[in-house]
Each structure stands twice: as C-alpha cells, then as structure tokens.
C-alpha cells in the first residue's frame, strides 16, 4: 500500500475564494536494502547517508526540533520519551500530541525516532521533538480551526527551546503575518526547513513558507537519482534530501506503516541532518550550521552555482560528522540572504571566518541566474553523478489575507 502524495493531494480547501496547494518533492540515491520484515529495513536513506557510522560520533543529542504539523503522537514505540511539551495552535479540541492524521508523527519519527521494536528510526535519534499542531484543510473544515494557526505555531516555535524548525506544510500564497513570523524566528536564531512543493508538473508555483528568503526550501530525492515529475523546481530550492519510498504511518490509527513519497519526509530528514551537525558543534549559530550543509552538499558543478532542482545539492551531514569538512563561515551572515542576522547567540568573540561563496536565495539580493539547471524530460529526468560519504551514488535531483488560505501537508 502506498500512502503520501496521493492522500495529501485530496486535502485541499477553499476559504473565501482561493484554494490551497501542496508542498513538494525531488529525488535521491543509495544502496538497495535487503528484504526484511521490520520497517527500518525499508529506510534506505539511513544506509545511503551512513547513519550507523555517524551515530558513533553523534546522535543529535542536545538538539530540540520544533515540528509544525498535524500533531505528534508521543505514545508510539519510536517516540516514547522523545517528545517534549509543545503547543496546539488550532484552537480545536485536543492538544499537540493528538495527531489527527499520522503525518506529523511520521515526521517526528524520521527526525528523532528511536526505532524501538523495529519501528521508524530517526536520523537524529538523540534529538528531542517539540510538537506544534496546525490544521490541514480537512481538519479545519470539521473543527473550525483558527485561521492564523501557522503564524501562531511559527512564533511559538521561535520562542521555544528548539534550535531547528521543521514544517512539511505549504501554500502558493505569501502572507504578511506569516512572513513576519518567519523573520521573527530568524531573529531568534532558529534554522527553519520547509518543503518546496509537489506540483512541479502542474504549474510549479512557489510554495510558502519554503519560498521566504530566510527559510531553507527542501526538495525530495529517491534512491534512483531521478528528478520526480511532480517535484517543484525553482530558485526556492536550497537543498535536496531523501524523500521517496520512505515509510510513514498510514493514518491516525497508528497500526501500520505505508510507503510514501514527497518533500514532507525530505524536510524531516534535512532537519535531522542539521541536528547531527549542530549537536557536534553546539556553539555554532544557525548560519554556520547551514553554511556547512551547503558547503558539503553533493553536487557535480562548481561552488557558487545552484541547480533549480537540487539547490546547493544533496544534503550530506556525514561529510562534516565523519570527515570534518565544511566551512562554517561568518556566524552572523545568513548563507540564504547574505544579510546580517540577529539572534540570541553572542558571537562577538567568535572568529569571523570568511563565508563560503554561496548565492543568495531569491528575495534577498537581486535574483541571480540559476546555474547548472538540469533539463527535465517528460518522465525520465536527468541524473547527477555524486559521491555520498564513501559510497558512489547517483542523484538528481504577493500576499493575501491569512483567512483566505489554508496550508496543506506536503506528501
């Protein structure tokens, strides 16, 4: 049974006179997994990303990740003891640990699941989850959820102890209040990841919050290294991360896992990657962690160029965790916007290493031409030859009032 993109595409709601859109996907590669009964054997990305080797160095301990989603069930075998107090922004019955869909719990497990009993294991099992519940279109319709729930959730995440924000929801509409909330999170020193969209074959409109300048837009990649036909591709893509054929809860009964695809899991895995790097370098700022992720991303083009499908390339935390590679750069300059940021960390005594040359994201400087853009075909997309750790792998990877629009899960 396959879950994910197909199910999420139906969760669309018109509030006022505008409809919602989805949030994204692209693709990744790794060694084929042996057949086995437990769910972890299907998590091909753990082997491809050298997770076992990285866990000998760090498991993400000390890092908290805010998951803005459908809620997080803290009682699953994989998440027992992993979920901290969060916030329910919906205004509907229930609380942040009441996952009405199963989507948010899947994201949390992909980040920090312990894998107990053969369940999903997160890439950063030493990290902790702070759940923030928002409404998708179906839940909002049934429960009269608050219209500004994502704004409240982002601000709550910004005020929390989380260093990383992971949001696998999106809409094609930019909103002033939400943009201000995102900027507030940046000012608090948070590293914000969001999915870029699954409608690459249907208009390919920018998705928000991924398209905001200070948010890391994540595309999805599969084990075969082909750009998915449905993947969003534009200058909103900053990194690609594994997202296809990743197990996740089938529904909110939490009885079984299904295979899924989309930038939802890709975003969670990218967030977990950041947790591993940040755990190893706790004194770094969000800018430095992100600059290292950009600097070490897998790509077959020269530094300082970007792909509209892969952004800076395929995320590879092992390059830093296992090999010490990556230039952290200036602690106070965002590698996304090239602008000086403010945050709680006092970096006045830290050496201001020269930042790696990385192009600014759309919306920061004048839009720069996107380099190394792969030519898409009608189903058999171009591939990039990359090296992941020590294994050779192939990769390819205005504003409207908030009340008018409802964010939707990225499959």
Catalytic residue among 264, 273, 307, 318: 264
Q: Choose among 232, 216, 114: nearest CA to 166.
A: 216
- CA atoms of 253 and 234, how far apart (whole Å): 36
* Residue 182, phi then psi, degrees to nearest 5: -65, -45
The CA distances from residue 365 to 92, 306, 313, 336, 375, in Å, are 40, 15, 21, 10, 25
> Is 23 tagged catalytic?
no
In 3D space, the residue among 398, 406, 408 whose CA is nearest the CA of residue 176 turns out to be 398
Contacts of 201 (CB under 8 A, 6+ apart): 229, 230
CA distance 394 to 379: 17
Write the DSSP symbol of residue 87. Answer: E
Annotated catalytic residue within 23, 25, 69, 245: 69
| Catalytic site residue from 103, 149, 273, 318 | 103
Asked if omega into 209 is within 30° of 0 (cis), the reply is: yes
355 exposed, middle or buried (CB, 10 Å; 0-12, 13-18, 19+)? Answer: buried
69 is a catalytic site residue = yes
Q: Is 103 a catalytic residue?
A: yes
Contact 409, 70 (CB under 8 A): yes
Give the C-alpha distances (Å, rounded to integers) separating 278 from 215, 292, 322, 406.
Answer: 17, 10, 14, 32
CA distance linking residue 261 with residue 390, whole number of Å: 26
- Residue in the block written with tokens 């000012």: 187
Taking the C-alpha atoms of residue 28 and residue 224, their distance in angstroms, rounded to an integer, is: 6
Cα–Cα distance for residue pair 4/279, rounded to 1 Å: 30
Q: Which residues are the active-site residues?
A: 69, 103, 264
């Amino acid at each position: 049974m396959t879950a994910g993109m197909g199910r999420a595409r139906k969760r669309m709601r018109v509030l006022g006179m505008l409809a919602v859109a989805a949030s994204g996907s692209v693709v990744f590669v790794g060694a084929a997994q042996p057949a086995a009964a437990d769910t972890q054997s299907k998590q091909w990305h753990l082997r491809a990303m050298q997770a076992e080797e990285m866990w000998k160095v760090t498991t993400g301990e000390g890092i908290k990740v805010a998951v803005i989603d459908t809620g997080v069930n803290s009682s699953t075998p994989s998440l027992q003891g992993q979920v901290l107090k969060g916030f329910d922004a919906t205004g509907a019955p229930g609380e942040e640990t009441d996952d009405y869909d199963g989507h948010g719990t899947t994201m949390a497990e992909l980040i920090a699941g312990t894998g107990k009993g053969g369940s999903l294991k997160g890439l950063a099992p030493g990290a902790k989850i702070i759940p923030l519940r928002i409404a998708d279109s179906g839940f909002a319709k049934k429960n009269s959820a608050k219209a500004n729930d994502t704004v409240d959730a982002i601000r709550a995440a910004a005020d929390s102890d989380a260093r990383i924000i992971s949001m696998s929801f999106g809409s094609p509409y930019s909103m002033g209040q939400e943009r201000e909330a995102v900027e507030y999170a940046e000012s608090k020193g948070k590293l914000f990841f969001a999915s870029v969209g699954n409608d690459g074959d249907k208009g390919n409109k920018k998705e928000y919050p991924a398209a905001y300048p200070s948010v890391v837009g994540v595309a999805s990649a599969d084990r075969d290294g082909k750009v998915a036909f449905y993947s969003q591709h534009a200058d909103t893509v900053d990194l690609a991360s594994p997202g296809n054929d990743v197990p996740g809860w089938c529904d909110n009964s939490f009885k079984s896992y299904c295979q899924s695809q989309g930038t939802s899991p890709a975003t969670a895995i990218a967030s977990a990657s950041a947790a591993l790097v940040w755990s190893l370098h706790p004194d770094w700022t969000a800018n430095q962690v992100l600059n290292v992720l950009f600097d070490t991303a897998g790509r077959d083009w020269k530094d300082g160029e970007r792909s509209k499908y892969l952004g800076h390339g395929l995320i590879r935390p092992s390059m830093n965790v296992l090999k010490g590679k990556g230039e952290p750069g200036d602690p106070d300059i965002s590698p996304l916007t090239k602008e000086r940021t403010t945050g709680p960390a006092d970096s006045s005594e830290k050496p201001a290493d020269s930042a790696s040359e990385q192009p600014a994201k759309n919306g920061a400087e004048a839009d720069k031409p996107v380099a190394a853009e792969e030519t898409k075909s009608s189903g058999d997309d171009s591939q990039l030859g990359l090296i992941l750790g020590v294994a050779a792998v192939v990769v390819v990877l205005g504003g409207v009032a908030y009340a008018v629009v409802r964010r939707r899960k990225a499959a």
